[in-house]
Amino acid sequence: MMSPASSLLVEVLATPGRVRFLDLPGWERLLRQANSANVGAILVYLLEDNGLLNDVPLKPREHLEAARIVALRHRRLAGYEVGRIRSDLAGLGLPLILLKGAAYAMADLPSGRGRLFSDIDILVPKDSLDQVERALMVHGWASTHHDAYDERYYRTWMHELPPMVHLRRGNAIDVHHAILPETAPVRPDPALLLAAAREIPGEQGALGIYTLCPHDMFLHSAVHLFFGGEFDQGLRDLFDLHRLALHFGTEPGFWDGLVARADALELTRPLFYALRYITRTFGTPVPAATLAAAAPFGPPHVLLPLMDALFLRALSPLHPECATRFDGIARFTLYVRGNWLRMPPVLLARHLFHKAFLSPRTAEAA
Amino acid sequence: MSLVADLGRAELVRRLDGPGLLLRTGPFVSRIQSNISLVADGIGSLYHDYPIEEEGGFADFQVRLRQPTGLRRWWHPQVRFDYDGRQPFAPLPLAQAWPMFEWVMNWCVSNRAHRYLIVHGAVVERNGCAIVLPAPPGSGKSTLCAALVCRGWRLLSDELTLVRRGDGLLVPLARPVSLKNASIDIIRAFAPDAFLGTPVPGTTKGTIAHLKAPPDSVVRFSEPARARHIVFPRYQAGAVTTLTSVSKGQLFMQVADNAFNYFALGQDGFDCLANLVDDCDGHEFIYSQLDEAIALFDRLAGVGP
């Protein structure tokens, strides 16, 4: 079976004790691969949690500590920004539901430690989208997409508003009303997600900030990676799933109910892929019963070797050392597939045509 | 420990073109890979007495400067900087390969070396007294720094002041001093024996030439120094040499403004900067005559009359 384990970084993420055998050139290679994959700070916490940090030689240790400093600053800024968003939306009486990176960070989940993210994703009920957008605009957030096609793309077909950026602070927010586009063939019911959301316990009582429930957090991470079409951070995203599984796997009922929840949300296929590739890549301890329950939801047998080949290439670190000739094709194929899964064929053809030929010209003209 | 000069031109080019030259500058080792002869020339001359690590060592930074092959080789040839598969900067004309090398060497440090509080400014030392010269471009900081190191001051750095967070000491980098436009001729006239690299015209900063760091500064780059003064220089044609003191509060804010990673460091950055400012006297300094400026700096260091 092919695996992305041909790279040192993947070996270390799967088996952190591997670093005990590294010489200095090995450390240099590991740090370079980690930086390319945007997991430099994730690495420092992984080594710390495994009691390995104190044995790291002086020079690589300095770089790991530098990555920690960047991550801590990121965490401070994210906390501040979430606080601002909460007060910007306070008048609406809605729970503030965070998704992905911001959720992991604010809930202090292990999967949030050292993880950098570029925007804050929130989930709101579809019928409150207008109010939310207005409230954000009043507080200095502005849409970044002014092109008429992009406006239509987001507002008619997508599951989110066009990304908004704060005019003074420059941070970005994505306002979602669902986790898959309106045009996708499967439509996880947002009402189910909203109803199951969990409040983050604060030190001085509740803060009114929520995350999805553990099942939904795991499934959202899976659908984002395997239906999304963008694999720039593929390895990092796969490692998110691994860390979520390790953390929530100890909660009673997590593994037992996962497949049923995926079924209710129509997300059994991404769940299948997530479990397949975390276990193969990182050796995540997923109970045999859960794997067996997810097994029927894979792609047709003839397709599976192809999907393995594509995903395992796309999930390798982007570092040039780990690259092969096949990478570009794998990533492009998955990009088209990601869009295929989000739009019916005619609309997709139109979208790709527009992105390839019309958007660049509009950008040049602007 | 071997030096760049020990390699010889052929071996230098082989390493640059292959596994990389592991060049030590102060506390850092950079793995440099380049197929550009201007880069080999620059390293062979401006860095000839710098230590190198043997192949198989550890590099803190990886600097790849490549001239693209194919049509681009002939048509407006370019230099591209590549950091592990990413291109953080737009390519430049090939003739600017050397200034680009120096810029990306600075960029690596200012983006990643968070063990230090990094201040944009020069550091020179004499008689155990280190003086930090933080300043925006155009203030004459590099000219003053170059003049001082041509008159017996030790160069710690021209661009990046590294304050070690553990003990507050200034750690030397001792890389070449970047001179711009009129400064090039001023320093040539001021110190005819000093070694300057070939001037490169047409960069975003005008014409640039690098002054080689004095050999003694390179030899001593494992010796940190304690900062005693922070001086904000300003060159003003015809001005009388004047030194005015700056209050501690103002000094703190002005140095923070010039620091690359003050905010990234959070509380530690504040503490480190506060200690630095406590150790130092702050001054605004206006000058037009280099000789007078140097005499004044000598007095600050307790040297001379």
Distance from CA of B174 to the nearest CA of A (A): 20
DSSP B92-120: EEGGGHHHHHHHHHHHHHHHH-TTEEEEE
If interface means Cβ-Cβ distance under 8 Å, which residues of chain A face chain B? 24-25, 27-28, 32, 35-36, 57, 59-60, 62-63, 65-66, 69-70, 72-73, 76, 318-320, 323
User: Average pLDDT for residues A307-335, to the nearest whole number?
Assistant: 73
How would residue B304 be classed by pLDDT, with cut points 50, 70 and 90?
Answer: confident
A173 bridge partner residues: A120, A164
Cβ of B58 within 8 Å of Cβ of A32? The answer is no
Cβ of B266 within 8 Å of Cβ of A36? The answer is no
Nearest by CB: A73 against B62, B112, B266: B266
Cβ of A65 within 8 Å of Cβ of B114? The answer is yes
User: Average pLDDT for residues B91-119, to the nearest whole number?
Assistant: 95
- Phi then psi for residue B171, to 5 deg, are -100, 130
Interface probe with B: pick from A23, A28, A39, A61, most Cβ of B within 10 Å: A28
Cβ of A25 within 8 Å of Cβ of B56? The answer is yes
Domain that holds residue A262: 4-365
Report the pLDDT value the prediction gives residue B135, as an integer from 0 to 100: 78
How would residue B238 be classed by pLDDT, with cut points 50, 70 and 90?
Answer: very high
Distance from CA of B181 to the nearest CA of A (A): 35
Q: Which of A277, A222, A227 is nearest to A14 (CA)?
A: A277
Maximum average pLDDT range among A301-305, B1-5, B78-82, B294-298: B294-298
Tokens of B178: 């970047």
Tell me how far CA of residue A154 lies from CA of A102, A147, A164, A180, B235, in angstroms: 22, 11, 12, 12, 54
Tokens of A125: 């009920």
Cβ of A25 within 8 Å of Cβ of B266? The answer is no
- Direct distance between the N- and C-terminal alpha carbons of chain B, in angstroms, rounded to an integer: 40
Nearest by CB: B115 against A36, A66, A323: A66
Which residue is closest to B57 within chain A, CA to CA? A25
B242 bridge partner residues: B286
Chain position carrying tokens 């794997």: A291
Distance from CA of B61 to the nearest CA of A (A): 9
List of E strands, B204-275: 206-211, 227-235, 242-246
- Left if phi > 0, otherwise alpha if psi is -120 to 50, otherwise beta: which for B108? alpha
Q: Give the whole-number percent of chain A exceeding pLDDT 70.
A: 86
Interface probe with A: pick from B58, B63, B117, most Cβ of A within 10 Å: B58
Chain A partners within 8 Å of B85 (Cβ): 36, 318-320, 323
Interface probe with B: pick from A35, A68, A69, most Cβ of B within 10 Å: A69
- Phi then psi for residue B261, to 5 deg, are -125, 25
Distance (Å, whole) CA B65 – CA B68: 9
- Give B137 or B16, the one with higher predicted confidence: B16
How would residue A1 be classed by pLDDT, with cut points 50, 70 and 90?
Answer: very low
Report the pLDDT value the prediction gives residue A3, as an integer from 0 to 100: 46
Report the pLDDT value the prediction gives residue B212, as an integer from 0 to 100: 97
The total number of structural domains in chain A stands at: 1
Tokens of B114: 């968070």
pLDDT for residue A319 is more than 80: no
Taking the CA atoms of residue B232, residue B234, residue B238 and residue B240 in that order, the dihedral angle to the nearest 10 degrees is: -10
User: Average pLDDT for residues A209-221, to the nearest whole number?
Assistant: 97
Question: Which SS3 state, helix, strand or coil, does residue A135 take?
Answer: helix
Question: Which SS3 state, helix, strand or coil, does residue B199 take?
Answer: coil
Report the pLDDT value the prediction gives residue A2, as an integer from 0 to 100: 43
Cβ of B115 within 8 Å of Cβ of A65? The answer is yes
> In this predicted structure, which of A39-48, B84-93, B139-148, B165-174 has the lowest mean pLDDT?
B84-93
Distance (Å, whole) CA A184 – CA A193: 17
- pLDDT tens-digit readout, A154-165: 777 778 888 899
Q: How many CA atoms lie within 13 A of A314 on its CB side?
A: 27
Cβ of A319 within 8 Å of Cβ of B263? The answer is no
Q: Which of B188, B213, B215 is nearest to B199 (CA)?
A: B188
Report the pLDDT value the prediction gives residue B124, as an integer from 0 to 100: 98
Q: Which of B61, B64, B59, B48 is nearest to B2 (CA)?
A: B48
How would residue A311 be classed by pLDDT, with cut points 50, 70 and 90?
Answer: confident
How would residue B169 be classed by pLDDT, with cut points 50, 70 and 90?
Answer: very high
Report the pLDDT value the prediction gives residue A4, as an integer from 0 to 100: 44
Cβ of B84 within 8 Å of Cβ of A36? The answer is yes
Interface probe with B: pick from A63, A235, A318, A319, most Cβ of B within 10 Å: A63
Chain A partners within 8 Å of B59 (Cβ): 28
Which amino acid, one-letter code, is at B170?
L
Report the pLDDT value the prediction gives residue B116, as an integer from 0 to 100: 97
Q: Can you give the pTM of this predicted structure?
A: 0.89
Tokens of A227: 């239906």
**Residue B288 touches partner A, C-beta closer than 8 Å:** no
User: For residues B158 and B177, is the Cβ–Cβ distance under 8 A?
Assistant: yes
pLDDT for residue B277 is more than 90: yes
User: Average pLDDT for residues A221-243, to the nearest whole number?
Assistant: 89
pLDDT for residue B149 is more than 60: yes
User: Average pLDDT for residues A78-94, to the nearest whole number?
Assistant: 93
Centroid of chain to Cα A361: 31
Spell B184-216 as b/e; 16+ CB within 10 A means b.
bebbeebbeebebbebbeebeeebbbbbbbbee
Q: How many CA atoms lie within 13 A of A85 on its CB side?
A: 33
How would residue B122 be classed by pLDDT, with cut points 50, 70 and 90?
Answer: very high
- Give A226 or A286, the one with higher predicted confidence: A286
Chain B partners within 8 Å of A65 (Cβ): 114-115
Domain harbouring A78, CATH code? 3.30.460.40
Tokens of A366: 């602007």
B83 bridge partner residues: B86
Nearest by CB: A32 against B84, B113, B114: B84
Cβ of A69 within 8 Å of Cβ of B59? The answer is no
Residue B86 DSSP class: B
Answer positive or negative: Cα dihedral of B4, B6, B7, B12.
Answer: positive
**Residue B57 touches partner A, C-beta closer than 8 Å:** yes
